[in-house]
Amino acid sequence: MARAFTPKIVTANDLLVGDVIYLTRSGAWSRLHEEAHPATSEEQARTMLEHAQKQSDRIVGPYLADVEIGDDDRPHPVHFREVFRTRGPSNYPHGKQAQ
């Protein structure tokens, strides 16, 4: 049996501000993790990443990150690093958590 595919989202940093951004269903970028569009197959993930890589004039360093689809049908980060990236640093209320 093929190993189950872990859903993935595409994330990067905004070129001008540096803030964490996520690729949405429409192919645009959002600052909110919950608006990230999860790829549910290897192929879809690859296509989405390639789409992101072509936008290097607006974004920096796109990559795929594992997510879990919650009961709310939204993607949730799996690794703690990705959880921190949805919020900002823990020592000040700066970054996304401030907004």
Partner 1 sequence: MYVYQEFDEAFVRERVRQFRGQVEKRVDGALSEDEFRPLRLMNGLYLQLHAYMLRIAIPYGSLDSAKMRQLAFLADKWDKGYGHFTTRQNIQFNWPQLTDVPDMLEALADVGMHSIQTSGNCVRNVTADHFAGAAADELEDPRATAELIRQWSTDHPEFQFLPRKFKIAITGSPNDRAVTRAHDIGIRMIENDAGETGFEIIVGGGLGRSPFEGKVLRDFLPKDHLLPYLEAVLQVYNLAGRRDNKFKARIKILLHEGGLEDFRERTEKAFEEIRARFERPAGEMIDAIAKWFEPPVFNNVQTHAFDKALDANPAFRSFVETNTDEHRNPAYAIVTVSLKPIGGTPGDATAQQMRVMADIAEEFGHDEIRVSHEQNLILPHIRKADLPVVYERLREAGLATANAGLISDIIACPGMDYCTLATARSIPIAQQIATRFDELKLEHEIGPLKIKISGCINACGHHHVGHIGILGLDKAGAESYQITLGGDATETFALGERTGPGFGADEIIPAIETIVSTYLDLRDSEEETFLEAFRRVGMTPFKEKLYPEGKSGEARNAA
**Of residues 17, 26, 71, 72, which one binds partner 1 by CB under 8 A?**
17
Which residues ranging from 53 to 92 are in contact with partner 1 (CB under 8 A)? 56-57, 60-61, 78-81, 84-85, 88-92
Query: Which CB, 24 or 88, lies closer to partner 1?
Result: 88
Nearest CA to 74 out of 44, 30, 14, 43 is that of: 30
| Nearest residue (CB) to partner 1, 37 versus 85 | 85
Contact in structure between 7 and 68 (CB atoms under 8 Å)? yes
Q: Which is nearer to partner 1, 74 or 95 (CB)?
A: 95
Instruction: Look at the alpha carbons of 37, 62, 68, 99 in this order and tell me if their dihedral is positive or negative.
Output: negative
Q: Shortest gap between Cβ of 43 and partner 1 (angstroms)? A: 25
What strand order describes the sheet that includes 75-77? Answer: 29-30, 20-23, 8-14, 59-69, 75-77
Closest C-alpha among 44, 40, 22 to residue 32:
22
Tell me which residues touch partner 1 (CB under 8 A). Answer: 13, 15-20, 56-57, 60-61, 78-81, 84-85, 88-92, 94-96
